[in-house]
Amino acid sequence: MTGFGSGTYSDGKLSVCVEIKSVNQRFLELNVRMPHAYMVLEDKLRQAVKKVIHRGKVDIYVTAAEQGLQPQSFCIDYEALEACKTALDTAKARFFGEKEATLSEIMTLTTDWFTQEPPLIDEEECWPVFEKSVTMALDAVTIMRDREGETIHTDLFKRADTMEEHIECIASRKERILAAYEERLRRRVIKLLEPMKLQIDEARILQEVAVFADKSDFTEEVVRFRSHVLQLKKLLNGNGDIGRSLDFLVQEMNRETNTIGSKTQDLEVTETVLLIKNELEKIREQIQNIE
């Protein structure tokens, strides 16, 4: 689900701000941007987020500021600096007749001989500040995601009720479909036998109707679909991570609907099957937002 939250905390020595933005995605993807000096804490930060967010594309932005001067570490590779100066001096004397290269000229050419290292980080001392900041941000994200979840919950329940009505409409068509088939069959047979003044074989008619009834019987699919709807509502009223369970359940409901549609050519059943598939597609889109 979508959400945004930020948290800032300071212990007097270190101030940390964490911003978290989440958008809908089927699986969990964490993208962390934080100062290089504190990369040692990235894994702990990821684990803290994973305990709360289990699905979605999550961007985490971290800024940190030390309160007070922190010692910096500088390292100069004198051999590399000497090699750079010698090469530049030689080029200037040979081609331009100029004097020795200055430090600014060498730095314009390259700074590979110079490195500036961030101060060493005390992981145990810094992590509590990061932890409190990320907890504050996650709390804000959770509030926003909960609000969206309530809206989705209401919508999915309405769609489940609608599908229940549709499947009962299909179930009620079973006897009518058989009666309509028998009537059509009798009319065709009468039309064929009438010129020859032959009588209808009732046993054969009933046999054909029985064969048709067996091939077009969707009772099992209707029973399973009813069970799936009940399971859908049970999951929606439950706790914990239900996103993947809902995803699987919708696949099964879609399979039962396709089977019902393939077993009969009844126009009303076909139209109702399309209505159910439309609801399932909307549910499938919504459950991508659910953990």
Query: Lowest mean pLDDT: which of 139-153, 209-223, 273-287?
Result: 209-223
Q: Report the side by side order of strands in the sheet with 3-10.
A: 3-10, 14-23, 56-66, 28-33
What's the pLDDT tens digit per position in 92-116?
A: 887 777 778 888 888 887 877 777 6
Name the band, by pLDDT with cuts 50, 70 and 90, for residue 69: very low
What's the pLDDT tens digit per position in 243-272?
A: 788 888 999 999 999 998 888 888 888 899
Query: Lowest mean pLDDT: which of 121-130, 225-234, 267-276?
Result: 121-130
Token pair 């039962």 is at which residue? 256
Q: On the CB side of 40, how many CA atoms lie within 13 Å of its CA?
A: 12
pLDDT of residue 152: 86
Token pair 């995803």 is at which residue? 247
Q: On the CB side of 134, how many CA atoms lie within 13 Å of its CA?
A: 27
- Is 70 exceeded by the pLDDT of residue 203? yes
